[in-house]
Amino acid sequence: METTTTDNTGSLHSVEMNPRHHILNRAFALIYLFAILVLFYNHILNLLNSTNSFITFSISFSILISDLILAFMWTTSQPFRMRPLTRQQYPEKITKNFSNEINNFPALDIFICTADPYKEPPLNVVNTALSVMAYDYNPIEKISIYVSDDGGSELTLFAFMEAAKFAAYWLPFCRENKIIQRSPDAYFNSNYTENSETKKIKLMYENMKKRIEEVIERGKVGEDYINNEEELQAFTKYWTLGFTRHNHPSIIQVLLESGKDKDMTSHGMPNLIYFSREKNTSSPHHFKAGALNALLRVSGIMTNAPIILTLDCDMYSNDPSTPQRALCYFLDQTLRPNLAYVQFPQTFHGLNEADIYANEIKALFFTNPMGMDGLNGPNYVGTGCFL
């Protein structure tokens, strides 16, 4: 396939324009436009011939209006087909060409928003967090994960206390075995090779899952689930009489402290912070946007990383080199003045194979953003975005 690729050797990323793609898209648009014009010509003829009966006139007229709306929608989507771009990153070059960067990646703050422990099970949020805590990042201590809980739920905090303990085993397991799926749930549902080590870690995951699910079922964290004085203090300090999810002071609980907490192999760990912003019924909370604003203020004081990744609670990262891929753009000084964010597309799991209902939403996450990239840059889809 003939393509135009811009890749100065040593560059951390390349951009590819496929001229055949462009010509075919444009030719198709032209043929389609011609067909639309013929259609409207036909509609107008029908309209003129139906003036003697009110009913046939109104039918012809309403069909014309509907087709006008569809043609308008088609026209607005066409610019995205004119100049689509494909991008490629070379994270392995960060090590080669930026030897001084390898031990000095910039700090990265990761925001994960959740809002309700019953609609968004904490076990899923834990999987989201573990998939990014286990990123290949050097040093891992530079990563800080902030979990924003708009549900203000002790159940979510409990789930993350458990996750912090499990992470001490999960992170070295992923690192040493070069696991790709670093969300435990996705990993144990994949075709992994079973051996004594995977059996052991699966058992630990199942234990954590059982504890989290039992607590959710009971609706409160019983004393028998609390392991130490520190945990007890966190629950009794915040969840006092009069605490409701719509009315409570802010809660910040540091569950893992990088530099202090180590995993089972004495390797460092990222920061893990549970956070629930202050809420009261008299002021609007502005949903996820409000949560992100509060996270910006908290992280600004605690870690203030130059790069932030935003994630929803119902997703996980499926590639441990993701932050390095984003760095391929952020480390490029020539790109920097015009670079607002680096966004990854969402892919969905659990769809039927042929995706007959188009649940992948390919146009929203692939086709349109790649087309916008060739014009002025893609729109922000709200998640999976480094900024």
Ligand X SMILES: O=c1ccn([C@@H]2O[C@H](COP(=O)(O)OP(=O)(O)O[C@H]3O[C@H](CO)[C@@H](O)[C@H](O)[C@H]3O)[C@@H](O)[C@H]2O)c(=O)[nH]1
Could you say whether residue 114 binds ligand X (CB under 6 A)?
A: yes
Say which DSSP state 78 is in.
Answer: T
# residues near Mn ion by CB under 5 A? 1
- Minimum gap (Å) between residue 274 Cβ and ligand X: 14
312 belongs to an annotated ligand binding site: yes
- H helices, E strands: number in the chain: 13, 10
Choose the contact partner of 149 out of Mn ion, ligand X, none; CB within 5 to 8 A by kind: none
**Which is nearer to ligand X, 345 or 377 (by Cβ)?**
345
Radius of gyration of the chain (CA): 26
In the bound state, the residue with its beta carbon closest to ligand X is: 382
Amino acid, res. 118: Y
Of 200 and 286, which has the nearer Cβ to ligand X? 286
Please check if 149 is assigned to a binding site. Answer: no
Partnered with residue 143 across adjacent β-strands are 108
Which stretch, 108-116, 194-202, 227-235, 361-369, contacts ligand X (CB under 6 A)?
108-116
* Shorter beta-carbon distance to Mn ion: residue 46 or 346: 346
Please choose, from the candidates 135, 113, 109, 110, the residue with its C-alpha nearest in 3D space to the C-alpha of residue 124: 113
State the Cα torsion 64-67-68-74 to the nearest 10°: -170
> Which does residue 114 bind out of ligand X, Mn ion, none, counting CB within 5 to 8 angstroms by kind?
ligand X
**Residue 116 in the binding site for Mn ion (CB under 5 A):** no
**Whole-number Å distance between alpha carbons of 116 and 277:** 14
Q: What is the DSSP letter of 264?
A: T
**Binding-site member from 115, 126, 134, 215 for ligand X (CB under 6 A):** 115
Decide whether 131 or 148 has the Cβ nearer to ligand X.
Answer: 148
Based on the shown chain and the rule CB under 6 A, indicate whether residue 288 belongs to the binding site for ligand X: yes
Q: Known binder of ligand: residue 231?
A: no
294 contributes a contact to ligand X by CB under 6 A = no
Gap between the Cα atoms of 257 and 141, Å rounded: 9
Q: Which residue, 80 or 344, is less far from Mn ion as judged by CB?
A: 344
- Residue 159 within binding range of ligand X, rule CB under 6 A: no
Site size toward ligand X, by CB under 6 A: 14
Phi, psi of 269 (to 5 degrees): -135, 160
b/e string for 20-45 if b means 16 or more Cβ within 10 A? ebbeebeeebeeeeeebeeeeeebee
Q: 14: which residues sit within 8 A by CB, 6+ positions away?
A: 5, 6, 7, 87, 88, 90
* Footprint on residues 296-355 left by Mn ion (CB under 5 A): 314
- Using an 8 Å Cβ cutoff, are 159 and 121 in contact? no
**Distance (Å) of CA 1 to CA 7, 28, 86, 188:** 17, 20, 14, 38
Judged by CB under 6 A, the residue of 157, 313, 331, 342 near ligand X is: 313
Question: Amino acid letter at 329?
Answer: Y
Provide, rounded to whole angstroms, the least separation between the CB of residue 365 and ligand X. 10
- Letters for 116-145 (x = contact with ligand X by CB under 6 A, - = none) are ----x-------------------------
Q: Which residues bind ligand X (CB under 6 A)?
A: 113-115, 120, 148, 150, 287-288, 291, 312-314, 382-383
Annotated binding site: 119-120, 150, 288, 312
